Amino acid sequence: MPWPPNRVLYPEGGYYRLDGEHVKTDVGDGSDTTLFMVPDALIREHSKVIDSALSKVSPGTERRVRLPNINPAHFNWYVEWLFSGRLWIFVQNRVPHNWEGHEVAESEEFERWLLCLRLSSAVKDSDFRDALVDGFIEWISQLDRDYGWEYGVKVAWAVDAYAGSESPMRELAADAAFRNWDTSDFTKLTETRATPLWFCGLVLAKATAARHFGNDRTKHPLPPKEITTTCEYHEHDNHGKICYKKRRPF
């Protein structure tokens, strides 16, 4: 429970007043447009797009931003994350992995994750992207070996499009494939040109290194990453920022 009431402790040692100045954010286009009221300090700390738009608003005029190209339902996930600091990757009442119908929940979760990654690029929020890294690691630890070719290639293309060439998410995409793919997936990687070049290069380099050290990947799968040790896949160091998890009150 944040203390004092009506405030969010964020960043460490500083309070944002939830009853302070708010930004009116019109999200979507036409009749679908939805108005979000978001605390000024909270959203400007995160979204470079909104921060830049607000810096052009002259004092005394309405603090209002329009984001016509963003789906309000997707922006709602972002606002939930802004307030909670936690990305809820799993859908409610999901069918556990390996139970009948589990693929439906997993595919829904994955599609939402892809949409959030696109949104992180649209609002320019690298903390949100770091939270998506943690959500992905949480999600993939449920799938284990069912994270096959199709998922791996979609992740590689999404990272290629929305995370930038310097992003450590590239390493995450390659590690996820290397840890969970089976032999037929690796064969497809070398025989098709269906993935970004950097992805193919990273995965093959990992496979070569494992062979070099006599490490039989199929018999000794590497354990999934602990969610507390995921900073190697986060971008905050690139931006000179502290990890979003360390700036939150939980």
Q: 52-55: long-range contacts at Cβ-Cβ below 8 A with a sequence spacing of 24 or more?
A: 54/23
Our finding on whether 171 is near Zn ion (CB under 5 A) is no
Q: Residue 79, interface with Zn ion (CB under 5 A)? A: no
Does residue 44 interact with Zn ion by CB under 5 A?
no
Distance CA 183, CA 189 (A): 10
Residue 234 lies near Zn ion (rule: CB under 5 A)? yes
The residue number whose beta carbon is nearest to Zn ion equals: 243
User: Cα dist. 16→6, 25, 64, 158 in Å?
Assistant: 9, 18, 19, 33
Q: Is 243 in the site for Zn ion (CB under 5 A)?
A: yes
To Zn ion, the closest distance from the beta carbon of 173 in angstroms equals 17
Residue 135 or 152: the one with the smaller Cβ distance to Zn ion is: 135
Q: Is 129 in the site for Zn ion (CB under 5 A)?
A: no
Interface residue with Zn ion among 95, 204, 210, 231 (CB under 5 A) is: 231
> Which among 220, 145, 229, 132 is positioned nearest to 180, based on CA atoms?
145
Angle value at C-alpha 84, between 87 and 7, nearest 5 degrees = 165
- Per DSSP, the chain holds a count of helices (H) and strands (E) of 9, 5
For residues 53 and 117, which CB has a smaller minimum distance to Zn ion in the complex?
117
Write down the least CB distance from residue 247 to Zn ion, Å.
Answer: 10
Q: How many residues does the chain have?
A: 250
- The contact set with Zn ion (CB under 5 A) reads 231, 234, 243
